[in-house]
C-alpha cells in the first residue's frame, strides 16, 4: 500500500491530476448538496454533456479546450436553470434533450475531423494525462474562486435551498443566487471533466451529497461530511486506479458507490435502533 502511494506521487502528471482532482471534488461536493436538495441533480449531468460537445468542437477547430468550453457550459447552465424554472417543456425532459443533442454534435464533429481517437475517449471517460501546467493553474484558480464564493454565501445558499419562497419574501434575490450556483457548477464541471470524463463527472456532484445525507441531520453536517467523503473517495479512487491500472474516473465512481452503500447501511441501522 505504501509502495503504491509512493509510486503514485513519483509521477508529476499524477500529482497534477491529484491536485486538480481534490480541489474539484471539494467544489463538486459543496455545490452538490444544494443541487441534490433542490432536485437539480440532472443539471450537472446535462452540463457535462454540453461540455463534451464544446470540447470536441474546440479540438476540431484547434482552439484551447478550456477557453471554449467554459463560456459555452456557463451559458448552457443559465439556459438549463431557466428551463427548470419556467416550464413550458418540463425541466428534466429539456435537460435530456440538450444533453443528447450536445453529445451528438460532439460525436459528429469529431468523426468528421479527427475520427474517434484517444483524445475523444479521454474526454468521454477521463484521462489523467490530459492536464497541462496551464490547465492545472486555471483549474486551481477556478476551484479557489468556487470555494471562496461558497463559503461567503453559505448562509444564503442554505436559505434558498431550504425555502425559496421564504427567502424571496424576505428580500433575498433568489434569482441571482440560483445563477451563482449554476455558474459555479458549470465551472466545476468543465474543470473536473478532464480528469473524470464527461460521462462520469456528474457522479462527483451527486454521490457525496447523497452519501452524507444518509447519516447527517444538519445542513452544515451534510456539507462538511460530503466534502470529506468526496476528497476521500477521489484520493482512494486514484490509488485504486494506479494499483490496478484501471481508468481513474471509473475507479473514483466505484469507490464513491462503495462508500455510499456503507453509509446507507449505517444510516439504516441507526434508524432501526431509534425506532
- Stretches 33-41, 65-73, 79-87, 195-203: which one binds other proteins (CB under 8 A)? 33-41
Neighbour count for residue 183 (Cβ, 10 Å): 18
Which of 151, 176, 265, 269 binds other proteins (CB under 8 A)? It is 151
Least Å distance, CB 252 to other proteins, is 24
Is residue 51 within 8 Å of residue 189, measured between CB atoms?
yes
* Three cell numbers written together for 40: 437539480
* Three cell numbers written together for 151: 463559503
Q: Of 271, 260, 274, 261, which Cα lies nearest the Cα of 225?
A: 260
Which of 79, 119, 140, 168 binds other proteins (CB under 8 A)? It is 168
Please say which residue, 84 or 102, places its beta carbon nearer to other proteins.
Answer: 84
By rule CB under 8 A, what count of residues binds other proteins? 30
Least Å distance, CB 275 to other proteins, is 11
Is there binding between residue 38 and other proteins (CB under 8 A)?
yes
Is residue 47 within 8 Å of residue 199, measured between CB atoms?
no
- Stretches 94-102, 110-118, 209-217, 236-244: which one binds other proteins (CB under 8 A)? 209-217
Scored b (16 or more CB within 10 A) or e, 262-274 reads ebeeeeeeeeeee
Is there binding between residue 156 and other proteins (CB under 8 A)?
yes
* Three cell numbers written together for 10: 513519483
Is there binding between residue 236 and other proteins (CB under 8 A)?
no
Please say which residue, 152 or 268, places its beta carbon nearer to other proteins.
Answer: 152
Contacts of 72 (CB under 8 A, 6+ apart): 50, 51, 53, 54
Site residues for other proteins per CB under 8 A: 37-39, 151-156, 158-159, 161-163, 165-172, 213, 216-222
Amino acid at each position: 500500500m505504501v509502495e503504491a502511494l509512493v509510486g503514485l506521487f513519483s509521477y508529476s502528471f499524477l500529482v497534477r491530476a491529484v491536485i486538480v482532482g481534490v480541489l474539484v471534488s471539494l467544489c463538486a461536493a459543496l455545490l452538490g448538496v444544494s443541487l441534490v436538495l433542490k432536485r437539480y441533480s440532472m443539471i450537472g449531468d446535462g452540463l457535462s454533456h454540453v461540455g463534451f460537445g464544446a470540447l470536441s468542437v474546440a479540438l476540431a477547430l484547434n482552439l484551447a479546450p478550456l477557453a471554449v468550453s467554459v463560456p459555452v457550459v456557463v451559458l448552457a447552465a443559465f439556459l438549463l436553470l431557466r428551463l427548470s424554472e419556467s416550464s413550458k417543456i418540463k425541466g428534466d425532459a429539456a435537460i435530456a434533450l440538450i444533453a443528447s443533442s450536445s453529445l451528438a454534435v460532439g460525436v459528429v464533429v469529431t468523426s468528421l475531423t479527427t475520427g474517434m481517437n484517444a483524445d475523444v475517449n479521454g474526454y468521454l471517460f477521463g484521462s489523467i494525462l490530459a492536464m497541462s501546467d496551464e490547465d492545472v493553474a486555471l483549474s486551481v484558480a477556478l476551484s479557489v474562486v468556487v470555494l471562496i464564493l461558497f463559503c461567503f454565501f453559505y448562509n444564503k445558499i442554505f436559505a434558498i435551498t431550504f425555502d425559496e419562497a421564504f427567502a424571496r419574501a424576505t428580500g433575498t434575490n433568489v434569482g441571482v443566487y440560483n445563477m451563482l450556483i449554476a455558474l459555479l457548477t458549470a465551472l466545476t464541471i468543465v474543470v473536473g471533466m478532464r480528469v473524470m470524463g464527461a460521462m462520469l463527472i456528474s457522479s462527483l456532484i451527486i454521490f457525496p451529497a447523497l452519501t452524507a445525507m444518509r447519516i447527517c441531520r444538519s445542513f452544515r453536517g451534510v456539507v462538511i461530511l460530503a466534502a470529506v467523503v468526496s476528497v476521500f473517495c477521489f484520493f482512494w479512487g486514484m490509488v485504486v486506479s494506479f494499483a490496478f491500472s484501471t481508468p481513474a474516473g471509473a475507479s473514483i465512481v466505484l469507490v464513491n458507490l462503495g462508500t455510499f452503500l456503507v453509509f446507507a447501511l449505517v444510516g439504516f441501522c441507526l434508524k432501526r435502533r431509534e425506532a
